[in-house]
Structure 1
Amino acid sequence: MNGEAWLLGPAVVLGALAIRTAVTELRRPGTAREQWAFLQSRRALFAGAAASLVAGAVGWHFLGAASAAWAVLTGLLVALIAAPRV
């Protein structure tokens, strides 16, 4: 892609996650901490790191450096899914 255009996709998704967190925090104070609590789970962080490494390695082969942002986003979303629910 041209210039930094490859960064637009991950930036939009991360922006949407931030907006979702802000809106729910405005509706119910304290929910932002609950939404991002998955970052304290070792299981979730390990799963996210593993997914990020795999996505980065595979993506590097096809996209080069552009895969880094996608790999980080993949790891974050996998960690969110893998976190134990309370």
Structure 2
Amino acid sequence: MEPTLATALILIAALVIKTAVLQLRDPGSARREWAFVNDTGALAGGALTAIAVGALGWSYGGYGVLAWALLAGLLVAQVMGRRPER
């Protein structure tokens, strides 16, 4: 496994673990943190980012770039889907 691919996968796993730990501390927090999955605007922005990163980086990193594209798209969608606390 390429080091860059492993690094991206470790970061994705860290995000999932962070969500699990926060859910244990504050039940319902995972639903709030991942609410962007139901937001079409956030998903479109994340998908566009993932496609752009994958397309632009393919010649440099091959399949390793796909994990980074997934991570970048996920983070962009999460930021775009944030709602202010009430």
TM bracket (short chain): 0.7 to 0.9
- Residue from 49, 54, 57 that aligns with 1:56: 54
For structure 1, the 5+ residue unaligned runs are none
Secondary structure at 2:63's aligned position in 1? helix
**Aligned-residue offset at 1:84:** 4.2
Partners of 1:84 and 1:31 lie apart in 2 by 13
Superposed CA offset, 1:10-65 (max 9, x none): 11111111111111111111111111111110110000000001000011021122
AA at the equivalent of 2:28: G
For structure 2, the 5+ residue unaligned runs are none
**Structure with bigger RCO (C-alpha 8 Å, 6+ apart):** 2
Q: TM-score, normalised by structure 2?
A: 0.88
Q: TM-score, normalised by structure 1?
A: 0.88
Identity rate, percent: 43
AA at the equivalent of 2:61: L
How many residue pairs end up in the alignment? 84
Structure 2 equivalent of residue 21 of structure 1 = 19
Aligned residues: CA RMSD: 1.3
Alignment of 1:4-43 (within 5 A): 4-43=2-41
